Amino acid sequence: MKFNAWSKARIRNGTKTLTSRKMRYSDPAVYCSFGPFPWWFIKRFLYRDEGAESPEELQRVINQIFRRTVGDHEMFYVHVLEPDLEV
C-alpha cells in the first residue's frame, strides 16, 4: 500500500492508525477494513486516527492527494493499519 510523506511520518510516530481509500484493499499493511463511509463522517469523527490534528488538516491532505476538492458525500473504505507497520 502506498503512502505519501505526510502519512509515513504519522505512521512512524504512531498517530496514524487508519487510512481511507476509494477501494477496499487486501494488503499486508491492513489489519481489517470497514465501509464504505461518506467523507464527512471520516473527516468529522476519524481525523485523529487518520493522523490529522483537525478535520480541516485532513481535508487539505486528501485534496492534495486527489488534486481536487474531495466532496463530503464521496465514499471511502476505512482501513485499520497493522500496529507494527513499518514504512
Q: What is the DSSP string of 4-51?
A: -HHHHHHHHHT-B-EEEESS----TTEEEEEEEEEHHHHHHHSTTTBT
5-56 per-position pLDDT tens digit: 999 999 999 999 999 999 999 999 999 999 999 999 999 999 999 999 999 9
Assess if residue 60 is contained within a domain.
Answer: yes
Assess if residue 65 is contained within a domain.
Answer: yes
Query: How many domains does one find in the chain?
Result: 1
Q: Which domain holds residue 20?
A: 5-81
Assess if residue 58 is contained within a domain.
Answer: yes
- Angle formed at CA 81 by CA 56 and CA 60, multiple of 5 degrees: 15
User: Model's pTM, two decimal places?
Assistant: 0.93
Assess if residue 41 is contained within a domain.
Answer: yes
Assess if residue 16 is contained within a domain.
Answer: yes
Assess if residue 15 is contained within a domain.
Answer: yes
Query: What's the pLDDT at 51?
Result: 98
- Rg (Cα) of the chain, in Å, rounded? 12
- The cell numbers describing 43, all together, are 473527516
